[in-house]
Amino acid sequence: MQHANAINKAATSNTSCVIYNSTPNGEGNEFYRMRKLTMERRAPDGTILKPEIKGLRYHWSEHPMYDQTWYQNKIKGKSKETIAQEYEISYNTAIV
């Protein structure tokens, strides 16, 4: 999304609660940067850093109304990249 960083700064300066919703669009964007902030990571000195923001992730398979049959019907005719992005929450396979 064009100007995503500026939009994020404007939104977070006006409220203490911001809810983002997106599917992965590769690793080189603002949404992926924020997603990384929901994970533990290591500082250059090896110290483990706790997540900076809370993240929620819901895979289609966690929804009680969706099953393997639903999934197989949904992915018919779709590219590997589209399936990764829209159904499997994969950042590194998604199309940028």
- How is the chain split into domains, by residue range? 4-86
Task: For residues 89 and 36, give the distance between their C-alpha atoms in angstroms, rounded to a whole number.
Answer: 14
Q: How confident is the model at residue 1 (pLDDT cuts 50, 70, 90)?
A: low
Indicate if the pLDDT at residue 10 is higher than 70.
yes
Give the pLDDT confidence of 11-39 residue by residue, as tens digits.
Answer: 788 887 888 877 878 888 888 888 888 88
Instruction: Report pLDDT digits (tens) over 33-79.
Output: 888 888 888 899 999 999 888 888 899 999 999 999 999 999 999 99
Does the pTM of the predicted model rise above 0.75? Answer: no
Are 27 and 91 a contacting pair, CB within 8 Å? yes
Q: What is the pLDDT of residue 96?
A: 53
